[in-house]
Amino acid sequence: MKLNVIAAALSLVAATALAATSGAHFMSASASVADSGALDVAFDEAGLGNQNVNYTLTAQATAVYACFNGGDKHPAASNKVGPSALSASLNNVQPKNGRVIASITVGPPANTTLSCPSGQTLVLACVSYTDVLLTDTTNSVDIIPTGTTNRTFVSGKGISCS
């Protein structure tokens, strides 16, 4: 009888511990492209318990950089970068009451080849993100964010991030 009570108590403790971490789920994740061209993903995850959580945001990104002169004219020099695999991490996030409300940012891909002549300025003309995925790597839960994943900052000949 005593062994049955102990076994039942241990089973309850084990089941409770498993349930405390197995309920992790994203309530929402929303993407937007910032003025810098970076992809920001704001998210809300619940069912976490009290242990710290690690996140990874991954995406494929394409950007177009262009040269503009002082009169804001685009003299046709532009360079498409990508698609490039990008990722960012957010580590050791402490849940509050079993929940994390936070944001994580990635990108844009860097210009590595276009150099503007004297009197012209290099600008990010547009950026587009695809295959965006936010993952709670601690609990193996992921979500595809909703929202805006592309943005055109300036338009002109040869500028397209599609």
Q: Which residues of the chain have pLDDT under 70?
A: 1-22, 71-77
Domain count across the chain: 1
Instruction: Judge whether 29 and 101 are in contact, CB under 8 Å.
Output: no
pLDDT of residue 16: 43
Domain residues for 82? Answer: 23-152
For residue 75, give the nearest of 84, 83, 63, 66 by alpha carbon: 66
pTM of the model: 0.79
Q: Is residue 49 part of a domain?
A: yes
Model confidence pLDDT, tens digit, residues 65-104: 888 877 666 666 677 777 889 999 999 999 999 999 999 9
Q: Is residue 14 part of a domain?
A: no
Q: Is residue 44 part of a domain?
A: yes
Q: Is residue 68 part of a domain?
A: yes
Q: Is residue 12 part of a domain?
A: no
Instruction: Judge whether 65 and 114 are in contact, CB under 8 Å.
Output: yes
pLDDT of residue 155: 79
